[in-house]
Structures are given as C-alpha cells and as structure tokens.
Amino acid sequence: MKKEELSGALIALKQAIANEQDGRRFYQEAARKTTDKNGKKMFSFLVEEEEQHFNALVAEYEAISGGGMWIPLDSARRTTPSGASLALFPQAKDTAKEMIPPGASDLEALKMAMDFETEGYNMYQRAGEETPDPLGKAVYHAMAKEENKHFTMLQKSHEYLSSKGMWLFDDLEKPSFDGP
C-alpha cells in the first residue's frame, strides 16, 4: 500500500472506530434508561454488536499499521486486539455527559439511534468508495450493510412501539416484529 493510501486508511479507520465507540456508549445509556425489559434487551444486543465492530476495526487498524495490508473481515472478527492498539482508542472518560437528553422517551431514543446508524452507514459507504483496496472496500461495504441492518431493526421497533405502545424483542436476542 502506498504511503498516502496507508495514511488515508488509518485516518478512516480511526473515524470508524470512534463512531463504534460512540455507538456502544449510546446503546449502553439507552439500555440503562429504558424501563422496558425488551427495550433493554434490544439496546444490550446493539452494545454487543458495536463491540464486535470495534474489535474488528481495531484488528484492521493493527493489520494496516503493522503490515500495510487489509485483512478479510472474517479474519478481523476472529482477532483479539492487542493492548497496545486498544490504548490508542481509550474509552470515553466523560461518561457523565449524557448522549440521550434527560426525559427523552424510548421513541425519541430509537429515533436518535436510527439517525446514528444512518450516519454510520453513510460514513462506511463513503469510505468504501474512497479506498482503492478491494479488501478495504469489502470491509467498509460489509460494515455499511450491518449498520443498515441495525437501522431496519430500530425502525421496525420504533414503528411497533409507536403503533402498539410496547416493545417487542424475542428471547434469542434477535428482533421480532410479529405481534400477538
């Protein structure tokens, strides 16, 4: 990988990693704030998803910074990030600053989450278009697809909650949108 491609890839990955950290923090807060057990399950599921994205992106960062090459996303998902790399991406220190305004309803939190996932999707789409590396493109397009999956889940949850007045999330921690 050329020096400027390497620099661009690392900058884009840093932005993506920060986005996943913000997502994890947002969903942790949403899980704490909602009083509904199914809402807690859904937001907790999304915390886990953001954690997996974070770890895979840190593995990609390590691969590029260490060897100048992208690795397939399935390999990145199986890689445990090193302590040195994790130190580059510390958890937010200012956890007192709330991402969800006090008194926000579950519907408002879902709308904020949908907006967040849309921003993530757009970021990954742009990064995929800008990187010349085929593996990099594949990583970004796969991440965009996952952000879109999250958006769809959140949108259906929002629609169900606003029309039925209740959350619906099954025990297998997968969204369920078929009502009684």
For the domain made up of 3-86+104-164, give the CATH fold: Ferritin (1.20.1260)
- What is the pTM assigned to this prediction? 0.86
Q: Shortest CA distance to 13 belongs to which of 151, 136, 147, 133?
A: 136
Q: What is the pLDDT of residues 15-41, one digit of tens each?
A: 999 999 999 999 999 999 998 888 999
Give residue 31's identity as a one-letter amino acid code. Answer: A
Query: Could you state, in order of their start, the residue ranges of all structural domains in the chain?
Result: 3-86+104-164
Q: Are 42 and 167 in contact (CB under 8 A)?
A: yes
Q: Which tens digit of pLDDT belongs to each residue from 70-121?
A: 999 999 999 887 766 666 666 655 554 688 999 999 999 999 999 999 999 9
CA atoms within 13 A on the CB side of 167: 24
The 10 Å CB-count burial string (b at 16+, else e) for 146-156 is bbbebbebbbe
State the distance between the two ends of the chain, measured CA to CA, in whole angstroms.
54
